[in-house]
Amino acid sequence: MINLLHKSLTSFGKFLILMGRTFKRPERLRMFAKEYIKEMAQLGVNSIGIVLLISFFIGAVICIQMKLNIQSPWMPRWVSGYTTREIMLLEFSSSIMCLILAGKVGSNIASEIGTMRVTQQIDALDIMGVNSANFLILPKITAMLTIMPILVVFSSAMGIIGAYGTAYLGHIIVPDDLTLGLQHSFQPWFVWMSIIKSLFFAFIISAVPSFFGYTVEGGSVNVGKASTDAVVCSSVLILFSDVFLTQLLS
């Protein structure tokens, strides 16, 4: 137990030192901008497809489940639409979608940086006098922080489109009832809450796997292990911070 605590605190200390090296002014802004745009495309734009696909079906499934299991003659007709909107906005589009992205983006970041470490590409950067942490990690974190709110908005919108799909294509719910529910007691703060939460998660998704990749030692087996550990660790951190953030922002 003490060993585990010691190991966790040591890793946290190393993480803070790495972040200290990462959050410095880039040596060449032109190079930073180039990397930032590249990461936006690689981590963010390339994730739009999977986000839209999952959000569409989850939105549709939530609507069906609400209609079939919650709706009763004793409840108003807008309940299914209302609950679908709240679940999509408050939990799915920010937290669950970030959990999914932790798998996709997190493993990508950890394995990319880990491979650069074991093939001495990071050593090569250090020898050139480049702050390798700043050059490799900062563009990833800033790109994720930029793209994540956009993904959250896209996800919420697609979830609602999915819900309409069940209304127009599946005829599960009357479209007017769905519209009524979606508009019922709408609080714009919930959109902001979702975006604020996603910003924290975006940091976790990019910074934690970067740390695991950057500190990998050994060969390809260790890169694979670091990639898995990064996904597990960032998922757990997202779940924990979700509890605190929900409490804090509600």
Partner 1 sequence: MIEVKNLCKSFDGLEVLKDISTVFEDGKTNLIIGQSGSGKTVLIKNLVGLFEPTSGQILYDGRDFVALSKEEKILMRREMGMIFQSAALFDSMTVLENVMFPLDMFAPMTLRERTKRAMYCLDRVNLVGAEEKYPGEISGGMQKRVAIARAIALNPKYLFCDEPNSGLDPKTSLVIDELLHSITQEFNMTTIINTHDMNSVTTIGENIIFIYEGHKEWQGVSADIMGSTNKRLTDFIFASELLKEMREVVNASSTARQAAPSGQ
Closest approach of Cβ 128 to partner 1, in Å? Answer: 5
Give yes or no for residue 25 binding partner 1 (CB under 8 A). Answer: no
Which residue of 4, 128, 169, 221 would you call a contact of partner 1, by CB under 8 A?
128
Q: Which stretch binds partner 1 (CB under 8 A): 70-78, 92-100, 129-137, 210-218?
A: 129-137
Give yes or no for residue 217 binding partner 1 (CB under 8 A). Answer: no
Closest approach of Cβ 34 to partner 1, in Å? Answer: 9
Residue 7 CB burial class (10 angstroms; 0-12, 13-18, ≥19): exposed
Instruction: Answer yes or no: are the C-beta atoms of 134 and 24 closer than 8 Å.
Output: yes
Q: Which is nearer to partner 1, 38 or 239 (CB)?
A: 38
Residues 90-119 that bind partner 1 (CB under 8 A): 115, 119
Strands (E) in the chain, as ranges, are none
Give yes or no for residue 120 binding partner 1 (CB under 8 A). Answer: yes
Among 173, 225, 202, CA closest to 63? 173
Closest approach of Cβ 202 to partner 1, in Å? Answer: 22
| The pair of three-digit structure tokens given for residue 105, joined into one six-digit string | 């983006």
Q: Which long-range contacts (CB under 8 A, 24 or more apart) does 172-176 make?
A: 172/63, 172/64, 172/67, 172/68, 173/63, 173/67, 173/80, 173/81, 174/77
Task: Name the residues that contact partner 1, by CB under 8 A.
Answer: 27-28, 30-31, 115, 119-121, 123-124, 126-131
